[in-house]
Amino acid sequence: MRTAQLADASGTGAADLGNVIEVGGLRQKYGDFEAVRGISFTVAKGEIFGLLGTNGAGKTTTMEVLEGFRPATAGTVRVLGLDPVGQHRLLRPRVGIMLQEGGFLGDLTVAETVSLWNGLSEDAGRPVTLVGSTALPGGFNLLGRVRGVDRATMGALELVGLESKARTKVRQLSGGQKRRLDLALAVLSRPEVLFLDEPTTGMDPEARRTTWQVIEDLRAGGTTVLLTTHYLEEAERLADRLAIMHEGHIHTYGTVEEVVAGSGDTIAFRLPGTSWTFGDLPAPDGVTPVLTYADGGTEVAYTVTGGQAELRAHAALRPLLAWADGRGEVLQRLAVRRGTLEDVFMSVVGEGR
Ligand SMILES: Nc1ncnc2c1ncn2[C@@H]1O[C@H](COP(=O)(O)OP(=O)(O)OP(=O)(O)O)[C@@H](O)[C@H]1O
């Protein structure tokens, strides 16, 4: 198990030296609308923390506060112990950012874009103007800084599998290839902290897997990553811990194991005939099944929660098998399915309705 701290849900945002990101009681308003409604979490060094949630849950807003693009309406926020807004110039060179939508200069080639960015990174700390994911110091002469395809540029392109596109104009890239270029720019300066807002949106399955490997390699090198994603498989693969947000709140957080353990296991089987009712069936620990009648049979499903996650399906099966033996019945197609992140996600969304 990693040295990750459990998220601080107390709202105190107590400082801890092991934490690279600290968010305590963060609230963010746009006019009268409160997009983030008092969230707290910490991310330890070398940890990948996933922010999941419904559309409009407040993930990007949270990211933007941490990136220093907007001051928090209320609460405390620290990245590497620094205030992202007040100490932006100190923080910027140590942070890599991949925004949800990149804003490239379409007439530059891929290699020129990376070289330009590399040159700009050396100027980090100067006031910057945001152009999508590309931050340009005010009044900067673009072409003066664009060099040929140097080794650092090729290294970054190889990392994301774009080396064959080095001389392609950015506007000719596909959506997924642009995301890869975004990632190359974000990791170019070997940041200590990486903010990735939906990094694999638009990527094909192979590019997604390559990107996951890049992110895992960065973690292995000690980089701390805050990631938002709509892909639950991505969160399961990458996130050491995650939080599920809905309507500005964090509803659940922890390791994938911890989060999923709360959703229970499903024990399902089929009985012949369609005359079965609840009263005919046992209720282990008071749990009643859901019955579905189909094709001349009854599909029975119990969702068991509580107790130790490793043991509860076994405990619930005993009375069910004893009942079947006693009745001379067979539990056809008996299956036990562990809860999934999707189950938890759907229950969070359901609770919020
Ligand atoms: N600049 C803004 N002005 C006003 N409201 C905004 C602004 N940016 C975001 N919002 C609102 O704040 C809420 C949270 O938006 P945010 O982009 O943080 O959500 P998200 O969780 O990243 O969503 P998604 O998964 O769809 O990207 C939404 O209701 C959105 O409409």
Q: How far is the CA of 226 from the centre of ligand 1 (A)?
A: 18
Percent of the chain with pLDDT over 70: 83
| Integer Cα distance of 84 and 35 in angstroms | 19
Q: What is the ipTM of this complex?
A: 0.97
- Would the CB of 75 count as within 6 Å of ligand 1? no
Ligand 1 mutation pick, 23, 28, 30, max ligand atoms within 8 A of CB: 30
Q: How confident is the model at residue 82 (pLDDT cuts 50, 70, 90)?
A: very high
- Would the CB of 56 count as within 6 Å of ligand 1? yes
Which atom of ligand 1 lies at the shortest distance from residue 55's CA? 26
- Would the CB of 243 count as within 6 Å of ligand 1? no
- Would the CB of 308 count as within 6 Å of ligand 1? no
- Would the CB of 55 count as within 6 Å of ligand 1? yes
Q: pLDDT (tens digit, 9 = 90+) per residue, 215-271?
A: 999 999 899 999 999 999 999 999 999 999 999 999 999 999 889 887 888 999 999
Global model pTM greater than 0.95: no
Q: pLDDT (tens digit, 9 = 90+) per residue, 14-70?
A: 444 589 999 999 999 999 999 999 999 999 999 999 999 999 999 999 999 999 989
> What pLDDT is recorded for position 152?
76
Closest protein CA for atom 3 of ligand 1: 30
Mean pLDDT is lowest, of 86-95, 115-124, 207-216, 285-294, for 115-124
Average pLDDT, the chain: 83
